[in-house]
């Protein structure tokens, strides 16, 4: 009898420990977003094939700068979303990776620029902590003014005549939600080290802490989707949008937090104490998303490997997706 009672107790103790560990890892890990984990390797001035630069209406924000690469005969166009420290001069994708070279082998590449800490969503109000002068309206830009501008420039290509959207970190979970909720324009979405289960324990607090230190800081996360109990948090959780992804191509990639080929000596401290924790969190969220998608009958193309929260790994993930036919 003692055995029968002790077993469940041990199970409950383990469950509480796991839940507490996940919550703590979430807070510590996402706080690492603001630490700049990941080594940058500037590549601006790379391929000039089909390069265009233009601006689109910001839906109430200032105009949004777009850099894009297009070649006649290409079979797909992908819109690439940046991470939490997005800049206003160039996308992190152009600064740190060579993925623009995909234009040479069938895939047009589009990079909207700006939106630090925006999560590429429409905010409820301007962030009052840092005196933001306008409300973020990134969902409107991506799904409305950007798509219209791309259509006018001939970027809607391929048999399906729809776009792909992909992003890293905050841009990863945003890509899944944008794709799932705008099926008229998107038929595939990819999340690279994204946070695909925003309803998990500790995520609200973790994101709040992370956004306190993103320039121009501090951002008030309650101005984004409201307080933690607001339904908008659930509307923007990829995990709770899986039912809208039937018939889409979905790609989820993540490192496992272990050091890999892009972890170099100058960055060991950030890579270990920020990048590793952050990527392990993304890994657990990717696995949870993959399992939920399987249960709901949504196939997911996955990529897991050694690696931390760093640009070299995101470059590899996107090329892996392309080489395996994700954009076809």
Instruction: Quote the CA–CA distance of 186 and 25 in Å, as a whole number.
Output: 33
Run of H or E residues at 34: none
- Contact (Cβ atoms closer than 8 angstroms) between residue 76 and residue 327: yes
Instruction: Quote the CA–CA distance of 122 and 258 in Å, as a whole number.
Output: 35
Q: Which of 302, 164, 298, 188 is nearest to 242 (CA)?
A: 298
Residue given tokens 């709901």 in the structure block: 296
Active site residues: 169, 279, 309
Q: Which of 277, 286, 235 is nearest to 259 (CA)?
A: 277
Instruction: Quote the CA–CA distance of 190 and 174 in Å, as a whole number.
Output: 9
Cis amide bond preceding 216, omega within 30: yes
- Contact (Cβ atoms closer than 8 angstroms) between residue 310 and residue 262: yes
Q: What is the DSSP letter of 105?
A: G
**Exposure of 191 in the CB half-sphere (CA atoms within 13 A):** 31
> Tokens for 325?
């036919």
């Amino acid at each position: 009898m003692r055995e029968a009672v002790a077993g469940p107790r041990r199970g409950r103790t383990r469950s509480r420990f796991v839940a507490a560990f996940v919550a703590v890892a979430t807070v510590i890990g996402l706080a690492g977003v603001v630490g700049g984990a990941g080594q940058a390797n500037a590549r601006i001035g790379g391929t000039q094939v089909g390069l265009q630069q233009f601006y689109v209406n910001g839906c109430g924000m200032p105009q949004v700068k777009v850099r894009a690469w297009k070649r006649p005969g290409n079979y797909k166009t992908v819109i690439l979303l940046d991470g939490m420290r997005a800049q206003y001069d160039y996308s992190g994708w152009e600064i740190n990776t060579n993925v623009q070279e995909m234009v040479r082998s069938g895939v047009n590449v589009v990079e909207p620029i700006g939106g630090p800490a925006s999560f590429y969503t429409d905010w409820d109000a301007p962030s009052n902590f840092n005196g933001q002068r306008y409300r973020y309206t990134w969902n409107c830009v991506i799904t409305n003014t950007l798509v219209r501008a791309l259509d006018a420039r001939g970027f809607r290509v391929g048999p399906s005549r729809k776009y792909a959207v992909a992003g890293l970190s905050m841009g990863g979970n945003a890509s899944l939600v944008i794709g799932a909720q705008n099926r008229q324009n998107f038929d595939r979405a990819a999340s690279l080290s994204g946070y695909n289960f925003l309803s998990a324990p500790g995520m609200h607090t973790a994101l709040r802490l992370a956004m306190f230190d993103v320039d121009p800081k501090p951002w008030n996360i309650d101005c984004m989707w409201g307080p933690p109990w607001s339904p908008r948090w659930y509307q923007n959780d990829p995990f709770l949008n899986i039912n809208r992804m039937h018939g889409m191509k979905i790609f989820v990639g993540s490192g496992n937090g272990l050091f890999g080929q892009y972890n170099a000596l100058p960055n060991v401290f950030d890579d270990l104490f920020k990048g590793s924790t952050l990527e392990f969190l993304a890994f657990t969220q990717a696995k949870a998303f993959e399992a939920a998608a399987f249960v709901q009958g949504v196939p997911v193309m996955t990529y897991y490997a050694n690696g931390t929260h760093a640009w070299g790994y995101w470059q590899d993930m996107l090329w892996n997706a392309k080489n395996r036919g994700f954009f076809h």
